[in-house]
């Protein structure tokens, strides 16, 4: 199984605070990697660096055949090539409120990728069926529940036909009763061998889908392994974190 993603030596500071202190990992194609850790550990910064929503101070990010070495400032073409390989799903849904569900889904494919409208619409309808929202294409975001909006957000990311889906705590802004419907969609994507990198606190969900678990603390990967890390962590700080999260659930 080949590595689709490579992250090497990633560092990032915000002012005097060094958030990432040399993060290294790879992700095999068709697998699910879960990033766990306390607030401020650097999880979201790693994810945003992979999409160049944050520009690292140093390090390398490669997705497929697109790579950036951040030891020098990347040019716009390199950033565009790397971003084209991944789709991003945010904590907040970030949907265009003035556009319908269908309008949100076809915006990127038509405006950015210059795909024919008819093709983008057909793909969007299929994606809405995949995320359990067939028939809601004419609704506006304000007419949907938070869980439905997040499922539209996932479909919108998939509409760009990325190689990788990056999900930044996709259920953290949802009411508890809506979390399950979003996790079910992500579970289906994992079953379809999508390459997923997920920042989440949903530990029990991660136990079922994760091929690789990376526990971050204070800007470094403090522990890594398969899903067994979640059941039998080796490091004391991993055990403390998991105990806190599971107790809060």
Read off φ and ψ for residue 106, nearest 5 degrees.
Answer: -90, -10
Residues 99, 141: Cα–Cα separation, whole Å: 8
Q: pLDDT value at position 142?
A: 94
Q: Summarize the confidence of residues 198-217 as an average pLDDT.
A: 92
Q: Summarize the confidence of residues 61-67 as an average pLDDT.
A: 96
Shared-domain flag, residues 75 and 102: no
pLDDT band at 1 (very low <50, low <70, confident <90, very high): low
Among 140, 161, 182, the domain boundary falls at 161
Q: Summarize the confidence of residues 59-87 as an average pLDDT.
A: 94
Among 131, 161, 191, the domain boundary falls at 161
pLDDT band at 249 (very low <50, low <70, confident <90, very high): low
Which residue in this structure is represented by tokens 């990432």? 20
What is the domain-level CATH number for residue 57? 3.40.50.300
Q: What percent of the chain has pLDDT over 90?
A: 78
Shared-domain flag, residues 30 and 128: no
Shared-domain flag, residues 168 and 70: yes
pLDDT band at 92 (very low <50, low <70, confident <90, very high): confident
Q: pLDDT value at position 245?
A: 84
The pLDDT tens digits for 144-161 are 999 999 999 999 999 999
Q: pLDDT value at position 128?
A: 96
User: Taking all residues of the chain, what is their mean pLDDT, rounded to a whole number?
Assistant: 92
Residue 51, both tokens: 């999409």
Q: pLDDT at residue 246 above 80?
A: no
Shared-domain flag, residues 145 and 171: no
Number of domains comprising the chain? 2
Residues 42, 53: Cα–Cα separation, whole Å: 14
Read off φ and ψ for residue 19, nearest 5 degrees.
Answer: -85, -40
Q: pLDDT at residue 202 above 90?
A: no
Shared-domain flag, residues 132 and 52: no
The domain of 209 spans 1-85+164-249
Shared-domain flag, residues 80 and 177: yes
In degrees, to the nearest 5, what angle opens at C-alpha 53 toward C-alphas 51 and 54? 110
Residue 38, both tokens: 């306390």
Q: What percent of the chain has pLDDT over 70?
A: 99
Shared-domain flag, residues 28 and 73: yes
Shared-domain flag, residues 110 and 206: no
Shared-domain flag, residues 169 and 58: yes
Shared-domain flag, residues 183 and 142: no
Shared-domain flag, residues 105 and 228: no
Q: pLDDT value at position 243?
A: 87
Parallel, antiparallel, or unpaired for β 164-168 and 3-14? unpaired
Shared-domain flag, residues 191 and 113: no
Among 161, 191, 209, the domain boundary falls at 161
């Amino acid at each position: 199984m080949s590595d689709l993603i490579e992250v090497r030596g990633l560092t990032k500071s915000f002012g005097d605070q060094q958030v990432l202190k040399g993060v290294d990992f790879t992700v095999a194609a068709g697998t699910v990697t879960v990033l766990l850790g306390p607030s401020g550990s650097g999880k979201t910064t790693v994810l945003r660096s992979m999409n160049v929503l944050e520009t690292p101070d140093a390090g390398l990010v490669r997705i497929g055949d697109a790579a950036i070495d951040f030891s020098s400032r990347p040019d716009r073409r390199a950033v565009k090539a790397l971003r084209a390989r991944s789709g991003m799903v945010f904590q907040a849904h970030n949907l265009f409120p003035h556009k319908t569900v269908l309008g949100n889904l076809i915006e990127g494919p038509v405006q950015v990728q210059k795909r024919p409208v008819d093709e983008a619409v057909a793909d969007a309808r299929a994606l809405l069926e995949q995320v359990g929202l067939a028939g809601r294409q004419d609704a506006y975001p304000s007419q949907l529940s938070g869980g439905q909006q997040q499922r539209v957000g996932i479909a919108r990311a998939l509409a760009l036909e990325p190689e990788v889906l990056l999900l930044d705590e996709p259920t953290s802004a949802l009411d508890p009763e809506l979390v399950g419907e979003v996790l079910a969609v992500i579970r289906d994507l994992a079953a379809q061998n999508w390459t997923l990198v997920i920042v989440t606190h949903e530990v029990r969900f991660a136990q079922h889908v994760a091929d690789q678990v990376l526990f971050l603390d204070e800007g470094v990967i403090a522990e890594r392994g398969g899903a067994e890390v979640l059941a039998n962590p080796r490091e004391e700080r991993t055990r403390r974190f998991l105990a806190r999260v599971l107790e809060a659930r």
